[in-house]
Amino acid sequence: MNDASINTIAVLTRHNLHAQQVVAALRAGKHVFCEKPLAINSQDLDQIIQALSSSAGAEPDNESLKEDIAKPLLTVGFNRRYAPFAQQLKKFIGKNHEPLVAHYRINAGIIPLTHWLHDPEQGGGRIIGEGCHFIDFLTFLVGEPPSSISANALPNDGRFRDDNVQLFLTFPDGSIGTIDYLAVGDKTFPKERLEVFTGGKVGVLEDYRSLELVQNGKSKKFHSRFRQDKGHHGEWVAFSRGITETKQPPISYRDLVGVTRTSFAAIEALRTGEKITISSELTR
């Protein structure tokens, strides 16, 4: 943190440490790459927003968090939006697409109840800790964070901990999305499948190994020639370019904050059984 020759910090620790380390790095004037999740509770997220605003030399309001003002830069390891097939799917949908319907199924597999990720104080649970990946991907496709969320889960029965969950998301443009995050399946089955329907088009992304695009009665299929690519390289290319060239964060702060708040709202929706509205403001 105090080494002037280092301009970028990568936060790769357990989840409960992310927020305090992000804040410390921003206050030290460093660019920050934080592995997901950005924070595991609202208080930590608010501290990060405050640190971003302070690093810009302004009070924490929506104007001071515009990407052309806030420096240094912060990004989160939402790598899937940088996968080559993800970029191709986004281009296929089009910049000014009509509202979409997306279904994202994740065969996450079971982990021991004693795993630190299940600990709400250390890992935040699997929905906050990993489910944010898939909320972000739908946010990437739609172009803005969700406006509401409702949730259902299978009974835990002493084997699970709220990790067989169906999330239903709505977006400001009218788009809707479902995320099925499942621990009850067989891990040998492919992990992720996404189906998107919009404007007479269908896109099917199969575990980041194949992509099918359907339009006007014609189907085009693409397959990864070498390996599965979930965008890990692409996210670092984008972040490096932001630091050295564009001076802009690769993922907007509105997306980072909105996705993180949505993950918190998912837990609230599970607990209450109610539909939860998500704030669109960067600060509250």
CATH number at residue 128: 3.30.360.10
pLDDT at 68: 44
Q: How far apart are the first and last CA of the chain?
A: 29
pLDDT at 281: 78
Structure-block tokens of residue 139:
């946010």
Structural domain harbouring 88: 81-229
Structure-block tokens of residue 154:
């299978």
pLDDT at 263: 98
The neighbouring-strand residues paired with 206 are 193, 210
- Identify residue 112 by its one-letter amino acid code: P
> Residue 132's closest CA among 170, 106, 102?
106
In a domain, 129, yes or no: yes
Q: DSSP assignment of 107-171, as one string?
A: E-----TTSGGG-TTTT--HIIIIIHHHHHHHHHHHTS--SEEEEEE---TTT-SS-SEEEEEE-
Pairing of strands 31-34, 8-11: parallel
pLDDT at 152: 97
pLDDT at 36: 97
Q: Provide the whole-model pTM.
A: 0.92
In a domain, 100, yes or no: yes
> Residue 131's closest CA among 58, 96, 180, 66?
180
pLDDT at 274: 97
In a domain, 106, yes or no: yes
CA distance 75 to 91: 22
Low-confidence ranges of the chain (pLDDT < 70): 55-70, 95-96, 283-284
What radius of gyration, in Å, describes the C-alpha atoms of the chain?
19
pLDDT at 170: 98
pLDDT at 227: 85
| Helical residues (DSSP H) of the chain, grouped into ranges | 15-27, 42-55, 84-93, 126, 132-142, 232-241, 253-272
In a domain, 122, yes or no: yes
What domain count does the chain have?
1
CA dist list (Å): 268 to 127, 271, 273: 11, 5, 8
In a domain, 182, yes or no: yes
Structure-block tokens of residue 191:
């992990």
> Residue 128's closest CA among 86, 65, 76?
76
Dihedrals phi, psi of 263, to nearest 5 degrees: -65, -40
> Residue 253's closest CA among 72, 8, 15?
72
- For 82, which DSSP code? G
In a domain, 212, yes or no: yes
The neighbouring-strand residues paired with 221 are 212
In a domain, 20, yes or no: no
For residue 47, the SS3 value is helix
pLDDT in tens, 218-248: 999 999 877 899 999 999 999 999 999 999 9
pLDDT at 95: 66
Q: Are 159 and 123 in contact (CB under 8 A)?
A: no
In a domain, 173, yes or no: yes
Q: Are 168 and 266 in contact (CB under 8 A)?
A: no
